[in-house]
A and B are shown apart, each in its own frame.
Chain A
Amino acid sequence: MSSGREPRPRLLIALCAAGFVLFNFPLVIVWDKDVTVFGLPMLPVALFVIWGGLILALAAAMERRAPPRDEDGRERR
């Protein structure tokens, strides 16, 4: 189980705000083009890529661990 440092609330709120902006008008116009990426339409590809990126950022923020020396003994409380 992940223990150690807490996720930083400010970072999480910033990510949420970023998500709101990236997925909505007017930025969504940027992705909404008649262009294909690797043979696929750009809009869904862009949405999925942003989606995946935010999940990775969230995972990194949530699974932040304590420095190794704090690790032992604090597992399995």
Chain B
Amino acid sequence: MIAAPLVLAASLAYLLTLFAIAAFADRRATQGRSVIDNPWIYALSWAVYCTAWTYFGSVGTAAVSGVWFLPIYLGPLLAMLVAWIVVRKMVRIAQTYRITSIADFIASRYGTSPMLAAVVTLITVIGMVPYIALQLKAVSGGFHLLTAGPTPHAEAAIVWWRDGALLVALAMAAFTIVFGTRHLDVYERHEGLVAAIAFESMLKLVAFLAVGAFVTWGLFGGMGDIWARAQALPELDGLLRLGGAEKAGAPDYARWFALITLSMLSALVLPRQFQMMVVECVGERHIRRAAWVFPAYLLLINVFVLPIAIGGQVLFGPGKMDAETFVLSLPLTQGAHWLALLAFVGGLSAATGMLIVETIAVSTMVCNDLVMPSLLRLPGFGTRQDGDLTRLLLNIRRAAIVGILMLGYLYFRIAGNAYALVSIGLISFAAVAQVAPALLGGMYWRGATKAGAFGGLIGGFAVWSYTLMLPSLAKSGWIPGGFMDDGPFGIGLLAPEHLFGLTGLDNLTHSLFWSLLVNVTLYVGLSFARNPSAREASQALLFADVFTRANSSDPAPVFWRGAARLEDLRSLAGRLLGASRADTLFQDLAQQQGVAPPDLVPDARLVDRVERQLAGAVGAASARVMVSSVAQEEPLTVDGVFEILEEASQLRGYARALEEKSLSLEQATSELRAANEQLKSLDHLKDDFMSSVTHELRTPLTSIRALSELMLDTPDMETEQREEFLRIVVSESERLSRLVNQVLDMAKIESGNAEWRNSDVDMGALVSNAVRATSELFRGRHAAVELSVPDGGVPVIRADPDRLTQVMLNLLSNAAKFVPEEHGRVLVALDSDEDGLTVEVRDNGPGVPLKDQASVFEKFRQGGDALTRPAGTGLGLPISRQIVNHFGGRMWLDSQPGQGACFAFWLPLGAREEEEP
């Protein structure tokens, strides 16, 4: 037992710390140095998922049914696996359209419908009040246990003002009012509050782990020891099997699945999760880390649940003590009083964290989606032009906060002992899960309509009330329970927990199945039944395509037509945001338009921007009502939506056309540049060619002229000398005419003007003839020529035999030039394969140096040193190559320096003349 003042003092100290942290974070925020702009803080704030229900209730469940406490934490993991896809989209939508609550989200998705917002708010309030009561009960129970000592299953009547629950409720109301409604924020972001929640998450984790470590290693010798000692107890036999301790039949897989699915949805749509994940999100990028840190946090806080639960059962004896109090009673009875106090503060922080966030989320909804629209409907209120509404709004929120917490307290006082902690938690989850189809469906399915969302929500909620809420009331003894088994009016098929005779499911699974079935059926069915209206369709587009809009450069279409006066908009913004904020807003807008604030044009885009800002403050539904009260809006028709989209897509079309134009222009430029380059290089080649030709012509001409002049000047030259000179003149003239012939030949072939006299050619005979014709050459150099032709001959090809002979002669005379003076060997080989014929002329000369191999087929590139090389025109190989190419073949050189050269060419069998270029 711990003295009550000490417990109170510890609680007070904890609360003061909370205030201090929140105040610190708020001050930092106003300085622009945000504390919560940090993925770890963001992730910790998500851990508000773990309430007192986790803190105390999990151990309770684990003690009775083993691993069945786990599905509630496995579901969020599955949700977090797709957080990058789903949560990021929610955040993007919410921040783009200034959405501050689930009710707002759903209402704006389905055409800014106030009715829908109100329904979602009501469902949330009804679902959440018992859950708030649960937290108060946990705190009250813990306080009682610490101060009065653990008494098995005792709920001693205590004076209402001494149980701490009311104090906690009031303290939380104060905290939430101070840090949640300090001012009206268009983003509805509360830095101090988030920092405080992150601190609470840290505290409850540390406290729970401390108790877990104390039980596991302080009271026992590790987890294995706990389990070993538990096995001695027959009551715990089979506890850690899915079938449970009773071993009654097959395990309830349906419930297991239902719990995982339910908690997966809850992690996304519980108001407190939405508040922390979406509304308080500083930057989408933080989701990256938070998405895995949050499930890791859940894993950590659950590691010691089973050891504590089983350890408690072993120490106290199975069933002797309320397992939901083990976290406190174990340290308390084992003498670790300070640890018990820490555990209590941890539990307190789990409860208060949930209270704060849930209250702020629900109060925003109540104010924006329930109270404000009703007020606006009052005659004269909406059109009143004077007066600052910010104060009124904040006061409504404050009243809502106090109201919700007091409602929770009341519920706790009346029903606190009626039902176990876990069942209340699950009933709440099941209620809130009803908004999941409309919320998640609306983000991805454009065809969903307001009627569908409305029908689904109402239908699902009605079935939930009938199959889960009503029976829980009956079980609490508040209404007669006769209808439970026999059904209302004795109609057995309508029995709330066995609807239409569906048995074999536990009540939660049963209710979840029917409610979600009805919900989804109505949602989809009614959406299919009628086409979406213009407003629904436009909102669906804005929500579902939020990423594509953000990525494209063109601004999102504004689905608004009408006229407004700048003055009216200004005064409206002033009333809802306060004068200074309104001024800032209009200055920003003017800056974006690039004009001075008084010159702003109140076009559709401006009205849309103002409405979005107001939506952040009063909710989308109210903002719509207020804006339409000062602006003459033309009713939006389906045609209008198409028109607006058309305009947007036309703009996009123009942009695309422009882009295409510039692209093709660019392409044309680069083509032109390439062509120019080619021309330049051709020009260069021509110059080279001309200078080569003139050079080649000049050499023989010079010698002819010199010799002729010599002979002319010396009439008395000796006859022998004269003959020698004349021979040289003749040979040089021959060389000259050969050169001229070859140049002409080359030019003809290149220009396509050459004459080709094609006939069937037997390459075997042609090659042999060529070898025979050049035998004189080889003999002159004492070189041996070897000819190898396949025995059966080779197929005939269609080509010009004279040209091919020219090629052969060229290759052979080349070889003859380069073979060594003695021991020269030339191998001429003809071979055929399926596709064509290959002719190789291999010599054992010096070969072609690697650096020259690429250029031997170029004009006037003669192999070897200019001084030592044998005479030649440098046109033989290029011409040969041209000829071979003409017949669709190719010519190549294969040479290792020092090991001879092998010139070869290949001709296709079905040699067709190349089409003239």
From residue A37, how far is it (CB to closest CB) to chain B in Å? 10
A54 to B299, CA, bound (A): 11
**B289 near A: Cβ within 8 Å?**
yes
Closest to A33 in B: B241
Residues A28 and B253 in contact, CB atoms below 8 Å apart: yes
The answer to the question of B14 belonging to the interface, with a C-beta cut-off of 8 Å to chain A, is: no
Q: Is B241 a contact partner of A25 (Cβ separation < 8 A)?
A: no
Residue on A with the closest CB to B285? A1
Contact A39 B227 (CB under 8 A): yes
Q: Which of B67, B228, B288 contacts A62 (CB 8 A)?
A: B288
Interface on chain A toward B: helix, strand, loop, or mixed SS? helix
- Pair A15/B74 contact, Cβ less than 8 Å: no
Which of B77, B224, B243, B260 is in CB contact (< 8 Å) with A55? B77
A25 touches which of B74, B256, B296, B299 (Cβ 8 Å) = B256
Write out, one digit per residue, whether chain A residues 35-62 have a CB within 8 A of any chain B CB (1) or not (0): 0101111011001100110110011001
CA distance A39 to B289 in the complex (A): 34
Q: Chain B binding site: helix, strand, loop or mixed by DSSP?
A: helix
B84 in the interface, Cβ–Cβ < 8 Å?
Answer: yes
Of B66, B67, B70, B85, the residue contacting A9 (CB under 8 A) is: B85
The interface residues of chain A lying within 8 Å CB-to-CB of B299 are 48, 51-52, 55
A50 to B457, CA, bound (A): 35
- Rounded to whole Å, the gap between the CB of A64 and the closest CB of chain B is 9
Interface residue tally of chain B, by bracket?
35 or more
Question: Given A25-B257, A55-B299, A44–B242 Cβ distance below 8 Å?
Answer: no
Q: Which residue of A lies closest to B306 (CB)?
A: A44
Q: Which of B84, B260, B296, B303 makes the CB contact (< 8 A) with A7?
A: B84
* Complex Cα gap A25–B242 (Å): 11
| Residues of B close to A44: CB separation below 8 A | 66-67, 70, 240, 306
Q: Does B845 contact A (CB under 8 A)?
A: no
Closest to A23 in B: B74
Query: How long is the Cα–Cα vector from A13 to B227 in the complex, in angstroms?
Result: 37
Give residues of chain A (1-22) contacting chain B, Cβ–Cβ below 8 Å.
Answer: 1-3, 7, 9, 12-13, 15-16, 19-20
Instruction: Indicate if A32 sits at the interface (CB-CB under 8 A).
Output: yes
Given the contacts A34-B241, A40-B224, A51 and B81 also touching, CB distance less than 8 Å: no
Give chain B nearest CB distance to A31 CB in angstroms.
9
Check if B285 sits within 8 Å of A2, measured CB to CB.
yes
The reply to whether the CB of B291 lies closer than 8 angstroms to some CB of chain A is yes
The docked-state distance in angstroms from the alpha carbon of A19 to that of B80 is: 11
Contact present for A16 and B84 (CB under 8 Å): no
Q: A40 to B230, alpha carbons, bound, how many Å? A: 11
For residue A63, CB closer than 8 A to chain B, the reply is: yes
- Tell me the complex Cα distance, A7–B578, Å: 41
Choose one: B70, B224, B243, B260; the contact of A24 (CB below 8 Å): B260
Residues of A within 8 A of B500 (CB): none
Residue of B nearest to A14 (CB): B81
Q: How far is the CB of A44 from chain B (nearest CB, A)?
A: 5
Given known contacts A51-B295, A59-B292, is B256 in contact with A12 (CB within 8 Å)? Answer: no
Q: Please, which residue of chain B has its CB at the minimum distance from the CB of A22?
A: B74
- Give bound CA distance, A55 to B296, whole Å: 7
B82 to chain A minimum Cβ distance, whole angstroms, is 5
Cα–Cα distance between A51 and B228 once the two chains are bound (Å): 24
Which one of A39, A43, A54, A58 contacts B224 once the chains associate, using CB atoms below 8 Å?
A39
Inter-chain contacts of A32 with B (CB < 8 A) = 241-243, 251
Cβ contact of B74, chosen from A12, A51, A63, cutoff 8 A? A51
CA distance A54 to B298 in the complex (A): 13
Q: How many contacts A-B (CB < 8 Å)?
A: 101
C-alpha gap A2/B81 in the complex (Å): 18
Cα–Cα, bound, A55→B299 (Å): 9
B contact residues around A47 at 8 Å (CB): 67, 70, 74
- In the assembled complex, the Cα of A41 lies from the Cα of B62 at a distance in Å of 14
Q: Give bound CA distance, A41 to B285, whole Å.
A: 39
Interchain CB contact (< 8 A) of B77 among A1, A19, A36, A62: A19
Is residue B789 within 8 Å, beta carbon to beta carbon, of the partner chain? no
> Which residues of B276-311 are within 8 A (CB) of A?
285, 288-289, 291-292, 295-296, 299, 303, 306
- The answer on a CB contact under 8 Å between A58 and B240 is no
- Once bound together, how far apart are the Cα atoms of A26 and B70, in whole Å? 17
Establish whether residues A12 and B82, one from each chain, have CB atoms under 8 Å apart when the complex forms: yes
B-chain residues with CB within 8 Å of residue A41 when the two chains form the complex? 227, 240-241
For B228, what are the chain A residues with a Cβ–Cβ distance below 8 Å? 39
Min distance, Cβ B249 to any Cβ of chain A, angstroms = 14
Q: How far is the CA of A13 from the CA of B78 in the complex (A)?
A: 10
Residues of chain A within 8 A of B257, CB atoms compared: 24-25
Q: Which of A2, A20, A43, A54 contacts B289 (CB 8 A)?
A: A2
Contact B81 A15 (CB under 8 A): yes
Query: In the complex, A56 Cα to B77 Cα: how many Å?
Result: 12
Bits for B229-247, please: 1 = Cβ < 8 Å to A, else 0.
Answer: 0000000000011110000
Q: Which B-chain residue is minimally distant from A1 (CB atoms)?
A: B285
Bound CA span A38–B224, Å: 7
Q: Which one of A12, A39, A54 contacts B85 once the chains associate, using CB atoms below 8 Å? A: A12
Cβ of B452 under 8 Å from chain A:
no
Would A24 and B253 count as touching, CB distance under 8 A? yes
CB of A62 within 8 A of CB of B84, answer yes
- A-chain residues with CB within 8 Å of residue B241 when the two chains form the complex: 32, 34, 41, 43
Q: How far is the CA of A34 from the CA of B237 in the complex (A)?
A: 10
Give Cα A13–Cα B241 distance, bound, in whole angstroms: 29
User: Given known contacts A16-B82, A55-B295, is B70 in contact with A40 (CB within 8 Å)?
Assistant: no
B80 touches A58 (CB 8 A): yes
Q: B74 to chain A: which residues have CB within 8 Å?
A: 19, 23, 47, 51
Q: Contact: B78 with A12, CB < 8 Å?
A: no
Query: Does any Cβ of A come within 8 Å of B470's Cβ?
Result: no
Tell me whether B21 is interfacial, beta carbon within 8 Å.
no
- Chain B contacts with A in 248-270, Cβ cutoff 8 A: 251, 253, 256-257, 260
Instruction: Assess A54 versus B227: contact at CB under 8 Å? Given A24-B256, A25-B253.
Output: no
Most chain A C-beta atoms within 10 Å of own C-beta, residue among B39, B74, B289, B299: B74
CB of B42 to closest CB in A, whole Å: 11
Interfacial chain B residues near A7, Cβ < 8 Å: 84, 288
Contact between chains at B288 and A58 (CB < 8 Å): no
B223 at interface by CB-CB < 8 Å: yes
How many angstroms from the CA of A62 to the CA of B66 in the assembled complex?
32
Does the CB pair B260–A43 fall under 8 Å? Answer: no
With A2-B288, A24-B257, A32-B242 as given contacts, are A48 and B303 in contact (CB-CB < 8 Å)?
Answer: yes
Residue of B70, B81, B251 near A54 (CB, 8 A) is: B81
A25 to B224, CA, bound (A): 27
Provide the bound-state CA to CA distance between A24 and B261, in Å: 10
Q: Least Cβ distance of A51 to chain B in Å? A: 5
Q: How far is the CA of A15 from the CA of B79 in the complex (A)?
A: 11
Report the separation of the CA atoms of residues A36 and B224 in the bound assembly, to the nearest whole angstrom. Answer: 10
Say how far A47's CB is from chain B's closest CB, in angstroms.
6
Residues of chain B with a CB closer than 8 A to A36's CB: 227
Alpha-carbon gap, A58 to B78, bound state (A): 10
B84 touching A13 by the CB < 8 A rule?
no
Chain A residues whose CB sits within 8 angstroms of the CB of B260 once the complex forms: 20, 23-24
A12–B303 CA distance with the chains assembled, in angstroms? 25
Nearest B residue to A31 via CB reads: B242
The residue of chain A having its C-beta at the shortest distance from the C-beta of B291 within the complex is: A62
Give chain B residues whose Cβ lies under 8 Å from the Cβ of A34: 241
Contact of A12 with B84 in the complex, beta carbons under 8 Å = yes
The residue that B81 contacts in the complex, of A12, A25, A52, with Cβ under 8 A, is: A12
What B residues does A40 contact at CB under 8 A? 223-224, 227
In the complex, 25 of the A-B residue pairs with CB atoms within 8 angstroms, ordered by the A residue number, are A2-B288, A9-B85, A12-B81, A16-B81, A19-B77, A24-B257, A25-B257, A28-B256, A36-B227, A40-B227, A41-B227, A41-B240, A44-B67, A44-B306, A48-B299, A48-B303, A51-B295, A54-B77, A54-B295, A55-B296, A58-B80, A58-B291, A62-B84, A62-B291, A63-B288
The 10 closest A-B CB pairs, nearest first, are: A39-B224, A25-B253, A41-B240, A16-B81, A59-B292, A58-B292, A62-B288, A32-B242, A15-B81, A19-B78
- Having A7-B288, A9-B84, A16-B82, one finds 11 other A-B pairs with CB under 8 Å, namely A2-B285, A12-B81, A12-B82, A12-B84, A20-B260, A26-B253, A39-B223, A39-B224, A39-B227, A41-B241, A48-B299
